[in-house]
Amino acid sequence: MTNTYGDWLRQKRETAGLTQQQLADRAIMTRSHIAHIEAGRRVPSKEDARRLDRALGTGNVLSSFLPQDDVATADYFEAVRVLEQQAVMIREYALAYFPGILQTKRYARAVLGSAFPPVSEEECDRRVVTRLERAKILEDPLTPVVWALLDEALLRRPVGSRDVMGEQILHVVRLAETGRIRAHVMPFDVGFHPLIGSMLTLMWFEDQPPLAYGEGGHTARLHDSPAVVRKWQHRYDLALSDALPQKESLALLRATAEEYGHHD
């Protein structure tokens, strides 16, 4: 994600002779939120932009030139990756493959190695390392709190070898059994549900508004509009209410791993 907008905001703030904290006070925001926008790590919501315009006396300039939220996944995910490291709570809904932060090395290689157009072995290695770096957030025993809602479809569609799938499923079971994450399976017999058709990541922060990141097909969107984020939070809650309880989910995961020939 380019940082033209963040650089522009910084110039307007400095021209007004304001520190980040002073601008945050005027705009009723946190200093760190201002810092993330200026650094290109966040795109302000429309309401954020309106408050910044009022605080800086810039009319509707910052509101009018908000970056569009319909860019491709590759352009947006760098910002999402950074935000993932800052989150205190993450809730995932996974439909096509296990969430990146839960992937084993062999599963990640199988997913990333199936890219089209094909990538070189060197590039695949680089992407695997990046994905495993993301998973290091789970080394902290408490933060972020992670909930994973796993559609049964991803369990039944093999990625890589049967051994790779079994290992991946048991990895998630162990994370849940140790209390590091909560894992729930959305069974086929639920039928249609509010999240079907796309992957979803919800993130909460200590000092920033929450956001939602959705992937579907070959595009993705990062949302921090409060109304849009609330919509996805409500859809997640509704879908989760139909999922299997964690005890039953782990039993299904273990049974599926055994079907792939992998045992504890």
pLDDT at 185 over 60: yes
> What does the pLDDT average to over 100-122?
88
- Rounded Cα gap, residues 230 and 101, in angstroms: 23
> What does the pLDDT average to over 199-212?
91
Per-residue pLDDT of 49-80, as tens digits, reads 888 999 999 888 787 777 654 333 344 577 78
Output phi, psi for 4, to 5 deg. -60, -45
**Residue 161: what pLDDT?**
92
pLDDT at 113 over 50: yes
| pTM over the 0.85 mark | no
Give the contacts of 67 (CB within 8 A, at least 6 positions apart).
1, 5, 43
pLDDT at 2 over 70: no
